[in-house]
Structure 1
Amino acid sequence: MGNQQSNYKSGFVSLVGRPNVGKSTLLNRLVGQKIAIMSDKAQTTRNKIQGIYTTDKEQIIFIDTPGIHKPKHRLGDFMVRTALSTFNEVDVILFLVNVTEKRGPGDNFVIEKLKTIESPVFLVLNKIDQVHPDELLPIIEDYAKELDFAEIVPISAIDGNNVERLVETIGKYLPEGPQFYPEDQVSDHPEYFIVSELIREKILERTREEVPHSIAVIVESIKRNENDKVEVNAVIVVERQSQKGIIIGKGGKMLKDIGMNARKDIEALLGDKIYLELFVKVQSDWRDKQTYLKDYGYNQDDY
């Protein structure tokens, strides 16, 4: 921005919390665009998706980390390390909790990890639209005795309640600094990653328990064809033949449904009409094989 003030502030904020507390919903609310996938299944966000919030006074770069949980396999182990690795690189950590559920082992696991961190930690109590205001104080006291939070902010990510106050409070902790990204940029991820996440979201929404997290989506190409339509080719990788059958569905119906719904979101993201081609491939136990994890973009050497 040309008229940037001399005391312009910018910084990085990490969103953490156990799986499924509303981190992606909050990120999308802050950035105003659908860039993080939203699903009520745990552990859907795998990489650091960054949302960028820009005004003429400040720029906040949000890092949405995978939910912290006790790892069950190598992919899970990598996801936890990814989340923890962001903690010391940021100006503020938002520890998001769901006020409709009691503090559980998952929250305690995160709190234990946060005790060793230098960055200021905010306790962000999400889903306050679902509880009576009188219920909030005991919840706040319960968490506050576990950790000395820099700030405590109750919000509702889904309806935007108090989110503005959260942003203002974050602003107080940001150092003076440059605008890192152009004001119209909302994510530093290449389209490939966001497109693959949108496709994955549609699969998880429709298949529920039958296809757990043993799927990866690899976007192989995004290119304009001779009819001026953007062609997107993507491969859905599953672990078992039975999962392939579920995703394709009877007479190809499920795959068609996934493709149609993903296409709408991708068109909104790219601002262009697209042609989406989806393939399904079986690669047994890809989550535990180092080489496959690398191929599918989960590169442990980065952390």
Structure 2
Amino acid sequence: MTRRQVHSFTDTPEGFRSGFVSFVGRPNTGKSTLTNALVGQKIAITADQPETTRHPIRGLVHRPDAQIVVVDTPGLHRPRTLLGERLNEAVKDTYADVDVIGLTIPADEKIGPGDRWILENVRQAAPGIPIIGIVTKLDKASRDQVGAQLLALYDFLGGDETKPVVVPVSAVENTQIDTLVDVLVEQLPEGPKFYPDDHLTDDDTETRISEFIREAALSGLKDELPHSVAVQVDEMFDDPEGRDRTNIYAVVYVERPGQQRILEGKDGRRLKSIVRRAREPIMELLGRNVYLDLRIKVLKNWQSDPKQLGRLGF
């Protein structure tokens, strides 16, 4: 969804600022955690594995004088599969339609060739869009490390020639989040509200539920398996026997039988723990009890199959 597809509201005060902001960076630089901190609620799933985010997620930051639409995107990366290529295309389309881009660099990791590749691609996809630097994960670095990283990011974005804005934050400890919001608002143009004040995201309920399930499935996984996991909600309805709960039937897809065995675990114990972990955020989202029926199925090489990617919404 672009700004042209978002309805605006006319009851906005004079001087009101609004616009779209997107965070870019290597996988696992804290983009989704930062999005959740800004919005004040969990709308984007997080995991230790790279490439966790699979589709652009829009979160709303409301202030009396401004409204920020934060677009959390998949990390820009060198693709290895058709899925990776499609994710990159979606990311570049998003960048071309935002007002501000924030480049995220962790405080405890040196700026490297991957960051340079991302910055070059962003500048090509969104020429003229202002880019601010965001040093993330302050909680994982010393004060000296943070200071050095702020200077390094300042130089990386152009230094004294362009005088970029650089902000340090910790989304986990909620440090400097208000300062970052102030900086983002200053960069936005005057404009209307795009969403009502009670909106936090424009993701539909089924998509958020499938993402909570995928987050639970990814917990504790390593190496390549996380990239092979996809989730689809098949059915969701009120309990037919009149109990105050929602019944949800969903499928976790993997690419090989060995991956299915890993997710199921011995005697199905890992699958049961996935259901337990997923139910909690789903119940919080729906505000009621949930029965979750979760199956694991093999969909061979779905990441490189155009037909299966379309079926799964990519």
**Where on the TM-score scale, by shorter chain, does this alignment land: which range?**
over 0.9
Pair 1:230 & 2:236 matched:
no
Partner-residue secondary structure (3-state), 1:59? strand
Q: Which runs of 5+ in 2 are unaligned?
A: 1-8
Higher mean C-alpha deviation, range 208-217 or range 246-255: 208-217
| Match of residue 278 from structure 1 | 294
Using the TM superposition, give the Cα deviation of residue 194 of structure 1 relative to its aligned residue in structure 2, in angstroms: 1.1
Length, aligned pairs only: 298
Q: Is the contact made by 1:156 and 1:163 (CA closer than 8 Å) also made in structure 2? A: yes
- CA deviations on 1:168-203 (whole Å, 9 max, x unpaired) are 111111122222112121110101111111111111
Which of 97, 100, 123 is matched with 2:105 structurally? 97
Per-residue Cα deviation, 1:206-234 (whole angstroms, up to 9, x for no partner)? 33347331011001122212224211111
Amino acid at match of 1:203: A
Task: Give yes or no for contact 2:102–2:133 (8 Å, CA) kept in 1.
Answer: yes
| 3-state SS of paired residue (2:252) | strand
Identity of aligned residues (%): 38
1: CA distance, partners of 2:27 / 2:174: 20
Mapped pair 1:174 → 2:197: no
Equivalent runs, 1:104-253 vs 2, <5 Å: 104-116=112-124, 117-148=127-158, 150-209=164-223, 211-226=225-240, 227=242, 228-253=244-269
Give how far 1:3 is off. 6.9
Q: Could you say if the C-alpha distance between residues 135 and 245 of structure 1 is closer, same or farther in structure 2, counting changes exceeding 3 Å?
A: closer
Equivalent residue for 1:69, pick from 62, 65, 77: 77
Q: Which one is further off, 207-216 or 230-239?
A: 207-216
Match of 2:308 in 1: 292
Confirm or deny that 1:15 pairs with 2:31.
no
The residue identity in structure 2 corresponding to 1:147 is: L
Q: For 1:229 and 1:289, how far apart are their aligned partners in 2?
A: 36
Q: Which residue of 2 aligns with 1:301?
A: none
Match of 2:34 among 26, 47, 50: 26
Once residues 112 and 277 of structure 2 are traced to their aligned partners in structure 1, the CA distance between those partners, rounded to angstroms, is 35
Q: Deviations over 1:6-38 (max 9, x none)?
A: 322211001111100001110111111111001
SS in 2 for 1:102: coil
1:85 pairs with 2:93: yes
Q: 1: CA distance between counterparts of 2:224 and 2:248?
A: 26
TM-score between both structures, scaled by the size of structure 1: 0.93
Q: For residues 222 and 289 of structure 2, what CA distance do their matches in structure 1 show? A: 29
Kept in 1, the 8 Å contact 2:235–2:250? The answer is: yes
Kept after mapping to 1: 8 A contact 2:232/2:250: yes
Q: Separation in 2 of the partners of 1:256 and 1:210? A: 22
Q: Is the 8 A contact 1:124 1:153 kept in 2?
A: yes
Is the contact between residue 115 and residue 147 of structure 1 (CA under 8 Å) also seen in structure 2? Answer: no
Which digits, 9 at most, give the CA deviation of each residue in 1:144-169, with x for residues without a partner? 33323641111111111111000011
Residue 63 of structure 2 corresponds to residue 47 of structure 1: no
Q: Note if contact 1:14-1:92 (Cα within 8 Å) is conserved in structure 2.
A: yes
Matched residue type, 1:249: G
1:57-109 per-residue CA deviation (whole Å, 9 max, x = no partner) reads 21111001101111111111111222222112011101111110111222111
1:258 aligns with 2:235: no
Per-residue deviation, 1:280: 1.0
**CA displacement at 1:56 relative to structure 2:** 2.2
- Note if contact 1:68-1:80 (Cα within 8 Å) is conserved in structure 2: yes
The root-mean-square deviation of aligned C-alpha atoms, in Å, is: 1.7
- Please give the secondary structure, in 2, of the residue aligned with 1:206: coil
Relative to structure 1, the CA distance from residue 2 to residue 72 in structure 2 (aligned partners, 3 Å threshold; closer, same or farther) is closer
Residues 16 and 83, structure 1, Cα contact 8 Å, conserved in 2: no
